[in-house]
Amino acid sequence: MSAATPVSDGPISVGRRSHHPLLAVAAVLLGAYMTNFHSRIFSTGLADLRGAFGLGMDEGAWLSTIAQAPQILIAPCVAWLVTVFGVRRVLVVPAFLYGALCLVTPFIRDSGGLMLIHAVEGLLLGLFVPATLTVILRNLPMKWWVPAVAVYVFRQAFAINSGIDLVGLYTQDWGWQWLYWQDVVLAPLMGLCAWAGAPREPVDPDLLHRADWGGMLLFGSGLAMLYIALDQGNRLDWLESGLVTAFLAGGILLLLLFAINEWLVEQPWASARVLLSRNLGLTLLVSLLYTFASVSNSALIPNFLSTVGHLRPEQVGPLLLQWGALPLLVLMPLCVWLLGRVDARALVIVGLSAFGLAALMGTGVTHDWRLDDFRLMLLLQAVGHCFTFLPIVVLALANTNPARATTVSAYIQVLRVDGVVLASALATTGLRLSEQLHSNLIGLHLPQGDKAVTDAVGALGHAMAGQGQAAAQAFGLSNLASLVQREATVLSYIDGFWACFALALAGILTIALTTRPPAGPFTPAR
């Protein structure tokens, strides 16, 4: 397939135009923000939720998985559902139902009921982000696409950097219940915006009759199984667990069957042939590399401050809000303006370079680093978010027939949802293995009986000298072990930043292999 030819696989996805585009964009922002904040709850506030609901470590880990997996199951096919049934039918009723469930969730104490209600909430949330992106491509005039996609991209980076501050505010000041109750307000508001901003559309009986139910079921189920394996893999020691192995094998098998199905069926739901387009395939690969590189912002910095700096979310949150989130209010409009004048590939290179530079700065981290030391890194990462993902989406659309954007939308959603999960799982596992390696290597330089080691143990145990020599020595050994673990942890984060730097560089090299998109509505003015 020629790189200069727009991809035209998939169903016609152009619908009736909205007469109230600002309301449609508001629905985009609210739905996408709720989904990202929901993910932040379980990455940052899970310990508070375990305490509030009286859950053990295993139950808390499974609560997080069960709350997220249904999103993966339903998200890829939402673009098709909107194409067939229209935005109103897909968004409005689920929005009000989700708000009602969030209202009652804090009052549930039965673990089984808690798991069930979180699974239903996850399924409903899985509708919001893909549906809101489809609103842009289906119901807004093309002149609105770039600004509206910018809003869609903005909410992700903003939620990553502001979510921790809100989690800290809710758990410490307002009450942990507001982790759920904020959506009691936002979800109905999103539903009303979708109702007023999206046009009334009839069901498409022809597309419904030709539905590729097998492809949708195989793809969603395969991704959900992979997510469960990735989310539980680090806790259950990966292939040492029969459960993780079974979910990994099952997920891979279902995705292989999906690829075969999409190749053979007459009317594929999300044709895998779009990946054979050089430009589109490479652009989606860059999106995945960007997702991995952005772990330096979403995980490495906040986790370092929590693990090494021993800071709580309410202490870390203001830093991420001020230096990672608020600059987006200036940077995103700038990126939209530049996209009308500069090749989007050049902006992607700028964004990935900013991520790479921030990661390179992170390789100099020490145990003394605290909040102020990360300011410039967060500012560079804000530039990276704005100047990478928005141009990537524009490049994907520029290489696609705008009337058939459903298929590309499905793959973008897969990369954004499952890519984040994969990146998080790999980062967690990589940090753990790296910390173990460095701990062993440091231990090789602390031989038992060495005079320097003995002196250090004595100095570290001096505070317990009054309790006897044995107590002092035990206390000194414990302190020495804590220091070794701390330095090994710092070294593991340095390795993580080096990995993010390499991923950003790989993204730059990949985008350099793409050719200029075909002339169209996204071609910058000369």
DSSP 242-258: HHHHHHHHHHHHHHHHH
The values of phi and psi at residue 7, to 5°, are: -70, 135
- Domain match, 194 and 334 both: no
Measured N-to-C along each axis, helices 375-398 and 278-293 cross at an angle, to the nearest 10 degrees, of: 160
- Domain match, 192 and 310 both: no
The values of phi and psi at residue 20, to 5°, are: -135, 70
How far apart, in whole angstroms, are the C-alpha atoms of residue 85 and residue 118? 25
Place of tokens 């295993």: 58
Average pLDDT over residues 344-369: 96
**22 with 47: CB under 8 angstroms?**
no
75: in domain? yes
Average pLDDT over residues 109-136: 86
Structure tokens at 365: 């981290």
Q: For residue 252, what are the contacts with CB-CB under 8 A and spacing of at least 6? A: 222, 226
Structure tokens at 465: 């000298």
**Pairwise pLDDT comparison (262 vs 437), residue with the higher score:** 437
**Pairwise pLDDT comparison (354 vs 403), residue with the higher score:** 354
Give the per-residue pLDDT at 1: 41
Q: Lowest mean pLDDT: which of 105-114, 147-156, 319-328?
A: 147-156
pLDDT in tens, 61-91: 899 899 988 988 888 788 788 888 888 888 8
Q: How confident is the model at residue 502 (pLDDT cuts 50, 70, 90)?
A: very high
Q: Which domain holds residue 195?
A: 17-200
Q: Lowest mean pLDDT: which of 169-173, 382-386, 437-441, 459-463?
A: 459-463
Structure tokens at 184: 């009691």
Give the per-residue pLDDT at 183: 95
Closest Cα partner for 359 from 331, 381, 383?
381
**DSSP per residue over 302-346, as a string?**
HHHHHHTS---HHHHHHHHIIIIITTHHHHHHHHHHHHTTS-HHH
233: in domain? no
Highest mean pLDDT among 23-37, 183-197, 443-457: 183-197
Give the per-residue pLDDT at 24: 74
174: in domain? yes
- Domain match, 185 and 291 both: no
Structure tokens at 22: 């600002």
**119 with 103: CB under 8 angstroms?**
no
Give Cα 327 distance to the centre of its chain: 20
Position 13 pLDDT exceeds 60: no
- Domain match, 308 and 449 both: yes
Last residue of a domain, one of 200, 231, 250: 200
Give alpha helix (H) positions in 170-266.
178-197, 205-209, 213-236, 242-264
- Count of alpha carbons within 13 angstroms of residue 134, beta-carbon side: 34
515: in domain? yes
Give the per-residue pLDDT at 6: 58
Q: How confident is the model at residue 3 (pLDDT cuts 50, 70, 90)?
A: very low
Give the per-residue pLDDT at 271: 66
| Structural domains counted in the chain | 2
Average pLDDT over residues 253-281: 81
Q: How confident is the model at residue 254 (pLDDT cuts 50, 70, 90)?
A: very high
- Domain match, 293 and 384 both: yes
Region of 86 (left: φ > 0; alpha: ψ -120 to 50; beta: rest) is left
Distances (CA, A) of 40 to 33, 34, 102, 163, 317: 11, 10, 16, 6, 12
74: in domain? yes
465, exposed or middle or buried, with CB in 10 Å at 0-12, 13-18, 19+?
middle
Structure tokens at 437: 């390696």
Average pLDDT over residues 140-168: 80
- Domain match, 180 and 290 both: no
Q: How confident is the model at residue 435 (pLDDT cuts 50, 70, 90)?
A: very high
Last residue of a domain, one of 154, 179, 200: 200
- Domain match, 332 and 459 both: yes
Average pLDDT over residues 321-346: 93
**491 with 430: CB under 8 angstroms?**
no
**Pairwise pLDDT comparison (348 vs 406), residue with the higher score:** 348
Q: For residue 454, what are the contacts with CB-CB under 8 A and spacing of at least 6? A: none
Rounded percentage of the chain residues whose pLDDT exceeds 70: 89
Average pLDDT over residues 251-277: 81
Helix, strand, coil: what percent of the chain each, to 5?
Answer: 80, 0, 20
* pTM, 2 dp: 0.85
- Domain match, 301 and 172 both: no
Mean model confidence pLDDT for the chain? 85
- Domain match, 483 and 379 both: yes
Average pLDDT over residues 432-439: 92
Position 273 pLDDT exceeds 70: no
64: in domain? yes
pLDDT in tens, 505-516: 999 999 999 998
248: in domain? no
- Domain match, 177 and 293 both: no
Position 132 pLDDT exceeds 80: no
Position 346 pLDDT exceeds 60: yes
pLDDT in tens, 168-223: 888 888 999 999 999 999 999 999 998 988 888 889 888 888 888 898 899 889 98
- Domain match, 194 and 315 both: no
Give the per-residue pLDDT at 221: 94
Position 328 pLDDT exceeds 80: yes
How far apart, in whole angstroms, are the C-alpha atoms of residue 524 and residue 526? 6
CA dihedral over 182, 187, 192, 194, signed as positive or negative = positive
Average pLDDT over residues 365-387: 94
Q: Lowest mean pLDDT: which of 96-110, 228-242, 325-339, 406-420?
A: 406-420
- Count of alpha carbons within 13 angstroms of residue 452, beta-carbon side: 3
**280 with 4: CB under 8 angstroms?**
no
Neighbours of 366 (CB within 10 A): 10
Domain CATH number, residue 47 = 1.20.1250.20
Average pLDDT over residues 472-495: 88
Place of tokens 């310990």: 47
Position 472 pLDDT exceeds 80: no
Last residue of a domain, one of 180, 200, 220: 200
209: in domain? no
The values of phi and psi at residue 400, to 5°, are: -130, 145
- Count of alpha carbons within 13 angstroms of residue 313, beta-carbon side: 25
Give the per-residue pLDDT at 381: 96
- Domain match, 188 and 299 both: no
